[in-house]
Structure formats: structure tokens, C-alpha cells
């Protein structure tokens, strides 16, 4: 499910017990250093907006950010809101499971609506 | 071992079979969105310089980047040069071990010297 898209970026939800989104560039690139400077700056700005909205909506214990792409070498950035009682904390979400998570979080759809609003405010309909 | 430091950032090597460095802000912050804009921009620029030098020095199959800090909530960014025959590929370095890695890589110290040179060229001795 796409949470946001414009001519440069799109954002998808990763199905998970935690709030987790992935930001993609519409044009595929292998590494972050391959992006044109203006697009890289916009991608980082989108990360910042997602992080701030995750903090505002969910008050997580920590934000986690990752860019791997080892299976499919295409730049995309994971942003995850982490909680002390999620299934993997303090391990990364790719680490060893620590417990059965017991999260009771605010509605993801309300976060998603606020996030789309923030992104549209920031980027309008103008591409880089 | 510090690979680089100035008034804003310092960079350390993470002991590993792969080329792996961590970039810290000298002043500790909890989340990336807590950084002053100019310092966040400098941190991202340092990431870009590290990534480019890793690619130039090691020709990795993929660069991996991560910012977790769940145990100690202090912003720092991991940059890792990944190879198809490292012990964890295509899993993240925090994932399940896939094999006994068999890497034969160029000297890390030569990379470190080139990296320090690139960072000094980019940042001089001027703080943000």
C-alpha cells in the first residue's frame, strides 16, 4: 500500500507489529551516492518528515533507520518506530527475536494521514 | 580507533571481517531529527564521502547503512561494505550467519588514509 508518492519518491508501509515504512526513489539507483544531489537531499528530507511524524504519532523509544538492498540492489530506506516491548528490542528488526511483542499503538491510518499531509506541505506537487 | 575527527563528528572503525565504520556526532543526540539542520547535513555529507571511498577502495557488492542505537540512544550511523561471500550476505550484519566468510580485501589502512584525506578536503578544519 502506498502512503505517499510524487514524481521523485514513493513511500510504502512494511507489514509489521511496529510502525515501519520504506521510502523508494521512483527512478531506481544502486547506491545512495548514485543519486543526483537534489534527489538525495529530498530523500533525506522525507526521512526527517517520516521520523518526526512517527515520534509525534507513536512516541517510540527509538527510531531505527536502515538502507540495505542486498537481495535487490535498489536504494530504499527503512524507518521503524521501536518500542521496548516489541518482539525484537533492543535487537534490530533483522536480529534475533527476544519475546512475543505486546504493543498497543495508536491507529496507523491516523499516522498515515498526518504523514501524507506533512509531505504534501513540504514537497507540494513540484518534483526536484 | 578513530579514523577521523573534527569539532562536529568523529569516525571509528567497527572490528569486523568487512570494512565497517561508525560516524558519531561529537555532541550526543537521541534522534537524527534532534540534530541542528547544518550538523545533520554535515553528517549526511560524511556518509556520502565514506560510501564513495568504500566503493573506490573495496568495490563491494553493496553498501549497507544503519542507524539504530536501541541500547544506547545516541545517534551514530553504521556504514558497511558488503560482499556476496561475507559471513552474513544477503542478510544484514545483525541477521543470521549464512556461511564462514572468505574475504580477501585491500588493506583497510590504505582506505582509512584516503578517507581521512577526502574528509579533510571536504570539511577543512572549520566546524559547522
A40: left (phi over 0), alpha (psi -120 to 50) or beta: alpha
Order of strands across the sheet that contains A20-25: A2-5, A9-13, A20-25, A76-82, A62-67, B62-67, B76-82, B20-25, B9-13, B2-5
Mean pLDDT calculated for residue range A44-68? 98
User: Cell for B116?
Assistant: 581521512
Give the tens place of pLDDT for each residue, B64-121.
999 999 999 999 999 999 999 999 999 999 999 999 999 999 999 999 999 999 999 9
> With 80 as the cut, is the pLDDT of residue A127 above it?
no
Give the tens place of pLDDT for each residue, A69-122.
999 999 999 999 999 999 999 999 999 999 999 999 999 999 999 999 999 999
pLDDT tier at B125 (50, 70, 90 boundaries)? low
| Predicted pLDDT of residue B4 | 97
Cβ proximity of B49 and B82 under 8 Å = no
pLDDT tier at B128 (50, 70, 90 boundaries)? low
From the list A51, A67, A70, the residue facing B90 with the nearest CB is A70
From the list A31, A89, A94, the residue facing B94 with the nearest CB is A94
- Per-window interface: A 96-115 vs B, CB < 8 A: none
Mean pLDDT calculated for residue range B55-66? 98
| Predicted pLDDT of residue B6 | 96
The C-alpha atoms of residue A23 and residue A85 are separated, in whole angstroms, by: 25
- Closest CA in chain A for residue B68: A64
Alpha helices by DSSP H, B32-123 = 37-58, 108-123
| Predicted pLDDT of residue A63 | 98
A28 touches chain B (CB under 8 A): no
User: Cell for B1?
Assistant: 580507533
What average pLDDT does chain B have?
96
Mean pLDDT calculated for residue range B23-30? 98
A116: which strand partners? none
User: Cell for A110?
Assistant: 491516523
Angle, CA of B93, A72 and B111, to the nearest 5°: 50
What single string gives the DSSP state of each residue in A42-59? HHHHHHHHHHHHHHHHH-
Mean pLDDT calculated for residue range A17-26? 98
Cβ proximity of B106 and B53 under 8 Å = no
Domain extents for chain B?
A: 2-118
> With 70 as the cut, is the pLDDT of residue A128 above it?
no
A77: which strand partners? A23
B38 touches chain A (CB under 8 A): no
What average pLDDT does chain A have?
96
Helix A108-123 to helix A37-58 angle, to the nearest 10 degrees?
A: 140
> With 60 as the cut, is the pLDDT of residue B126 above it?
no
Classify residue A10 by burial, with Cβ atoms within 10 Å: 0-12, 13-18, 19+: middle
| Predicted pLDDT of residue B1 | 78
| Predicted TM-score (pTM) of this structure | 0.95
Q: Do B67 and A64 count as a contact with CB atoms less than 8 A apart?
A: yes
Q: Which CATH superfamily is domain B2-118 in?
A: HIT-like (3.30.428.10)
From the list A67, A71, A92, the residue facing B90 with the nearest CB is A71
Amino acid at each position: 500500500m502506498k502512503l505517499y508518492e510524487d514524481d521523485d519518491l514513493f513511500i510504502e508501509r512494511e507489514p509489521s507489529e511496529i510502525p515501519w515504512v520504506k521510502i523508494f526513489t521512483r527512478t531506481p539507483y544502486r547506491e545512495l551516492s548514485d543519486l543526483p544531489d537534489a534527489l538525495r537531499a529530498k530523500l533525506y528530507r522525507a526521512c526527517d518528515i517520516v521520523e518526526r511524524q512517527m515520534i509525534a504519532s507513536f512516541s517510540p523509544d527509538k527510531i531505527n533507520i536502515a538502507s540495505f538492498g542486498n537481495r535487490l540492489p535498489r536504494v530504499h530506506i527503512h524507518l521503524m518506530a521501536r518500542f521496548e516491548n516489541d518482539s525484537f528490542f533492543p535487537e534490530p528488526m533483522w536480529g534475533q527475536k527476544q519475546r512475543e511483542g505486546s504493543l498497543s499503538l495508536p491507529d496507523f491510518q491516523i499516522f498515515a494521514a498526518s504523514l501524507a499531509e506533512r509531505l504534501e506541505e513540504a514537497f507540494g506537487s513540484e518534483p526536484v
